[in-house]
Structures are given as C-alpha cells and as structure tokens.
A and B are shown apart, each in its own frame.
Chain A
Amino acid sequence: IQLTQSPSSLSASVGDRVTITCRASQDIKKFLAWYQQRPGKAPKLLISSASTLQSGVSSRFSGSGSGTDFTLTIGSLQPEDFATYYCQQVNGFPYTFGQGTKLDIK
C-alpha cells in the first residue's frame, strides 16, 4: 500500500496552524498513524488509528480522516514542532510509511 504525503516540505512560523495530508493507494479504513522525527532522533508516535492522540502528546496535534485521505493538523506551531512528519498504514502487511513532510521555520 503506497502512502503519498503532501506537501513534501513546508515553511511556517511559530504560532501558525499547519495541515499535512496523507493519501493511501487503497482503502485503509482508519489504520493510520502519524510520527514526528527530529533530526538525528528516532520517530515518535503522535497519533494512532487516524485520530487517537498518544498519551503525553500535546493537544496541538490532531488527526482526522478515513478510507484513503487523512490529515495531521498542528495548531499554533511551537519551536519544538519543526521536524519531519511521517504517516504509516497498518491495514496491510508490510506496513508502509509515507515519504515524509519536512516542516521548517519560515
């Protein structure tokens, strides 16, 4: 199952609200996760099942969607949010990741 993220990169300012999109090549119901990866670090699970926020993750992050179209929204960007974000599907094995969206400071 192919996942296509858009945009591939995004420049934004502290305080902005941003949305990242992930499109699946087939219906994956709600079996989608979002991860944040800071440079030189391991990815961190933010959201599972398309919209379930992980414990300890800021409520600035929210996820939505089902089927083939999903979004990750970050409200009021903070400096620590500038990172690369990946979506991942777990509807079919092998689990696959999107190509990533790099969010940097404008």
Chain B
Amino acid sequence: QVQLQESGPGLVKPSETLSLTCTVSGDSMRTYYWSWIRQPPGKALELIGYISYSGRTNYNPSLKSRVTISVDTSNSQFSLTVKSVVAADTGMYFCARDDTVGYFDSWGQGLLVTVSS
C-alpha cells in the first residue's frame, strides 16, 4: 500500500521561498501523477499542480508564476517550491497521488506551513 510523507520547514519568512518534499513508499511512482494540494486555515482545498514520472508538469494558473514541482525518481521523491511567499500562502500542504484522471486516491498526512516574520 502506497504511503506519502511530506517534509520541510513549518515556518517561512515573507518574500522567501517555501520548499517541501514528499517521499513515496510502498509502490512505484510510474503510471501515476504526483500532486501538491494546499488548504488555508478553515478554507477549501486548492490544487497547486502535478508532475508525472517523466517530469511533465501542469500548474494551477493562479500560482504558476511562483511554483515549481520536480521529481527525483531514484529516491522516490517529488518536491514543491513556492517563491516570494506571502501570508496568504499559509496553510496545510498535502502531497497526493493522482490516478492520472485527476482523482487523488492517496494522500500524505499534511504539513502546516506558516508564513510569518
């Protein structure tokens, strides 16, 4: 059974770069897409983007100018960077497996990221 685990700093200063990593275990990364989803406190879920095993990416246009998702297949990891963060980037960040249709069938436990000086 696949497991996903987010890691990274829980506190980032405004204008700096947020960097998170998701480690995948229990299954191959092939044949799926790998996504980042965030949830501001008390609000709904927002897809940030996804990456395929081969490295093809697709980003939410609302964040595209500030976001990069990369994959390290040798270590079964994929990563998220968000540049020039502001307070509105505060929230829970989840990594998730996309079955390639767009349904997220496995999720990490989430990581709370706070943007504050």
Interface string of B12-46 (1 = CB under 8 A from A): 00000000000000000000000000000001111
Q: At the interface, yes or no: A63 with Cβ under 8 Å from chain B?
A: no
Q: Given A31-B102, A42-B94, A93-B58: A86 and B107 within 8 A (CB)?
A: no
Task: Knowing A97-B44, A97-B46, say if A45 contacts B58 (CB, 8 Å).
Answer: no
Q: How far is the CB of B56 from chain A (nearest CB, A)?
A: 13
Q: Does the CB pair A33–B103 fall under 8 Å?
A: yes
Contact B108–A42 (Cβ < 8 Å): yes
Main secondary structure of the interface of A (DSSP, over half): loop
Does the CB pair A94–B44 fall under 8 Å? no
Q: How many interface contacts (CB-CB < 8 Å) are there between A and B?
A: 50
The dominant DSSP class at the B interface is: loop
B104 within 8 A of partner (CB): yes
Cβ-defined contact, B46 with A43, below 8 A: no
- Residues of A within 8 Å of B61, CB to CB, are 94
**In whole angstroms, what is the CA distance A54 to B58 when docked?**
26
Contact A94 to B62, CB < 8 A, known contacts A31-B102, A41-B109, A42-B94: yes
List, sorted by A's number, 9 A–B pairs whose CB atoms are closer than 8 Å. Answer: A31-B101, A35-B104, A41-B109, A45-B105, A48-B103, A88-B102, A88-B104, A95-B47, A97-B47
